[in-house]
Amino acid sequence: MLSEEFLNISELIGVSDDFKGQKKAVLVLDDGMTFFGRSIGYDDVSVGEVVFNTAMTGYQEIITDPSYCNQLVTLTYPHIGNVGCNDTDMESIKPHLSGLIIKQISETFSNHRGMESLQCFLKRNKIVGIDKIDTRKLTLHLRGRGSQNGAIVSSFLKNDSDLEEAKREARSALDSFEGISGKNVAEKVSGFALPEDDNWISSSKKSQPKKPLKVVVVDLGVKKNIIINLKRLGFLVNVVPSNSTFTVIKELNPDGLVISNGPGDPEPCENAIEVARLAIEENLPTLGICLGHQIIGLALGLGIKKMTVGHHGANHPVENLKNGNIFITSQNHGFVVDQEGLNSKVEITHSSLFDGTIQGFKLKNSNIFAFQGHPEGCPGPTDISEVFSDFLFSVENSV
């Protein structure tokens, strides 16, 4: 019965006043599967591609990663919000994800850096959220059938009689959602990089290059810690929006170019692909990260395909094919460079030990290379931060 299936909110309320009178919420998938829970964020209707992230920590970094634009993010770790939220762990000026799906939000938080609860953070940033659902069941469903679109409705659910109306509202949102394939989602999040102020880490004496080196970052949704890692190596960093032409970039006289991470399908990012193509022609030292990895692949004529469920987590093993070393990496992507159609000019440098997908490549006899994962971690390990060091070495040897 609906009354049994729908959660009794009075049984969910803990001692915190923040949760008194909490509204119910419903998650509806494109295939009709429905989950009932409680609203933990902004009251609204939100739609996006439903994905799952297996990281156990770093929920604030995940929530503020621009790569999750137009996605409803499921966190598989059951207890979320224990340490609250703060200003330091922001990867962008604001969150860009469509919604958050979790098993259990912490009704209190305890950390010396915590400034507000996760629920307050979600509400303040107008992010729809739902908890009290079986995230394990949802994850298994997505893993078996592939990522699909979903909608969270929390705007008017007060009792069981609102259920059918909520389902209709969710279906209407799903029918109007165009998805992320074939859409230039990156242009929606470009320009939200955190400002380069004095609080950012400066370069250490150990890593100081022989002379100041300038690098331009094409912002497709760049994370703060990518820029921090570049500055830590002594680079002078200039971030430009995704629609910047190669002519504009060249006027900045860069010693190197970084094409950043970002959300969605790389193929509609025509300007970034053209920038990468011209950088390749000039052999300007260029590093592509995540979406940037795919952008460079397209500029080289390689194919791109959408993955069944994508890689979203902080425990992905990757092999360096040159020396056999294994690295645990942070990953966040739903598209991948296709193994088919590789040409002899491209050397595969890294491979996923989960599914064998391409995790890194370089253009032979050039200063062009790319990595699919997140060498900066945040959240997750920085085992493969050598990607940044390799880029520094490439830039130094080309000037």
- The residues annotated with a catalytic role in the active site are 290, 374, 376
Residue with tokens 């509202």: 169
> How far is residue 27's CA from residue 149's CA, in Å, rounded to a whole number?
11
Structure tokens at 122: 């979600």
| Residue 98, Cβ density class (10 Å: 0-12 exposed, 13-18 middle, ≥19 buried) | buried
Please give the Cα distance from 320 to 174 (Å, whole number): 41
Contact call for residues 353 and 320 (beta carbons, < 8 A): no
Q: How far apart are CA 108 and CA 81, in angstroms?
A: 8
Start-to-end C-alpha separation, the chain: 71
Structure tokens at 221: 């949704």
Two tokens, residue 51: 């994905």
Spatial distance between the Cα atoms of 213 and 202, rounded to a whole number of angstroms: 14
What is the C-alpha to C-alpha distance for residues 288 and 371, in angstroms, rounded to an integer?
6
Adjacency order of strands within the sheet including 256-259:
235-241, 213-219, 256-259, 286-289, 368-371, 358-363, 346-352, 304-320, 326-337
Q: Determine the angle formed by the axes of helices 224-232 and 386-396, rounding to 10 degrees.
A: 50
